[in-house]
Chains A and B, each alone.
Chain A
């Protein structure tokens, strides 16, 4: 059985339209026009043990709402979630003992007390034995670089430091699965790198199952084997990162280095509209083409037959371009 099973999950919120102006808000006191918003609109997926799943989607697509249902915070309007045999909302207290959660925007630690005290309190809540606590603390202190932070109150930490401490807090009791909602939001490059390296390590070495939402595509590229894209409450893509790159309509790029000056006009003559060339430098050209129209071997063969090429590279479409296209065009892009 899969570790996480989600079946036709739905969450709807009742919202009301606010009228404008003071008179409007006065009117709202007495009569409100309600409408139902389906934040999550019938999603299904499974996650196996040891997977690192990236959960993507534009703002307001339903990512956070899904995570909140998966972690037992929100009660689903409809549908079924089973995680390790638990129903997150119904079995909240038993269930939350086995999961780790980090929200990038908000800390789970106690604001006023030192990090170490927070971790000790968590160990008590989650009934972690002293020896387990010691060995985990040692491991986390080392991998997350917490040595100098342990005696600082949480409120005095920088954002990057706080996220690292939050990660430690969510792992000190050895959860089987980790939910991360934008864990690197607002971090600088160094901070992002540290968190990323840490997640990769616990996924590989400790076989931790991780479900994370993020807007950082580099993060996804480095970490996730599988991605789920949600838009307007529905899953529009569920699969490997490799497959998403082969979406029709995405252009590939070829970089050509010539022994002499780059023959741009001649190339244009040969390929016409099939390849759009841009000059990168005196001897270097970049061309973008649709692989369905012109295959890469065909293109390379023709170039080599006509010119003296010193070197060439072909690059896959940038992930950012892929995701942007999906966000822009929704399910139609797929």
Chain B
């Protein structure tokens, strides 16, 4: 474990070195990322700031914003490594880069995930955190040490759930040689996890909870902070759902690796 931390720490250090050598590029994309995050947020703010819409299916504007900010945090952590899964089929399978991964005495999935990082996502992490704190003030939520701990655990869990889902989707590339893969439509599905789940119909609610558990990315864990009943069990199930997701993802991944065909030489 310590060995793995050292190695992937070294990977990160190397990545930073190369990234820092293109400084302007780094700052430009950081700013761009903050803008993208802020635009998405403004959409929600304006949508619910009209005279008529002050609540969404029983959820107040501040609550919706709180969940939205919460989701941005998990997603920022997710997208800091997900950049490697994006285009996995093309880069690793079709171009055969996965050979190199398999030749190292390290976990193959960890190598893919930690090969490069998307540091710009720190921008949306900050926007998300600010949104959450702003909404918390309106709602009169006081945040203690324990709450901070929960925020930490649950947002990591949320990111792990997202990563696991996309690892499963990427594993499909081992079986069908295809440049794009099946993941892209699911990137859009992530946004379902930014809203209170009860605004969707029952089928979608079920899917978002137990099939593609995006509701555990922000909504369920965020209810910890609200004065509402009915979600207590699901809320604290979040770390467990993350754990199960990892196991499922690992099984899919391992099966995929055993079917890897490599490209001809």
Contact = CB atoms under 8 A, between A and B. Distances in A.
Contact of B261 (A74, A97, A125): A74
Interface residues of B, number: 24
B256 to A, nearest CB: 11
A71 interface: yes
Contacts of A95: 105
Contact of A105 (B7, B18, B265): B265
Given A68-B99, A108-B100, A110-B14, A182 B265 contact: yes
Contacts of B107: 93
Main SS class of interface, A: mixed
A121 B106 CA distance: 13
Interface in A50-66: 60, 63-64
A181 interface: yes
B228 interface: no
A106 interface: yes
Nearest to A114: B17
Interface string A109-130: 0101100010001001111000
A326 B264 CA distance: 23
A113 B261 contact: no
Nearest to B98: A73
Nearest to A90: B258
Contacts of B96: 106
A278 to B, nearest CB: 39
B103 A108 contact: yes
Interface string A47-89: 0000000000000100110001001111100000000000001
B102 A126 contact: no
Contacts of B104: 96, 125
Contact of A125 (B7, B258, B259, B264): B7
A103 interface: yes
A74 B264 CA distance: 12
Nearest to A15: B261
A251 B259 CA distance: 47
B103 A125 contact: no
Contact of A68 (B6, B106, B262): B262
Interface string A216-251: 000000000000000000000000000000000000
A124 B6 contact: yes
Contact of B258 (A64, A75, A110, A113): A75
A204 interface: no
A114 to B, nearest CB: 9
A73 B260 contact: yes
B10 interface: yes
A68 B103 CA distance: 10
Contact of B14 (A13, A101, A106, A117): A117
A106 to B, nearest CB: 7
A265 to B, nearest CB: 52
A187 to B, nearest CB: 16
Interface string B12-25: 00100110000000
A106 B14 CA distance: 21
Contact of B106 (A13, A73, A125, A182): A125
Interface residues of A, number: 33
Nearest to A108: B100
Contact of A121 (B14, B258, B264, B265): B14
Interface in B96-122: 96, 99-100, 102-107
Given A13-B261, A181-B265, A71 B105 contact: no
A43 B119 CA distance: 48
Nearest to B101: A73
Contact of A113 (B7, B17, B102, B260): B17
Given A97-B105, A105-B265, A112-B18, A73 B99 contact: yes
Nearest to A72: B102
B105 A113 contact: no
B75 to A, nearest CB: 27
Given A74-B262, A105-B265, A182-B265, A121 B10 contact: yes
A157 interface: no
Interface in A8-38: 13
A60 B262 CA distance: 14
Contacts of B261: 13, 74
Contacts of B11: 121
B176 to A, nearest CB: 11
8 contacts: A13-B261, A72-B102, A89-B258, A103-B99, A124-B6, A124-B7, A125-B105, A125-B106
Interface of B: 3, 6-7, 10-11, 14, 17-18, 96, 99-100, 102-107, 258-262, 264-265
5 nearest A-B residue pairs (beta carbon): A64-B265, A97-B105, A112-B18, A96-B105, A73-B102
Given A72-B103, A92-B102, 4 more contacts: A71-B103, A94-B105, A95-B105, A96-B103
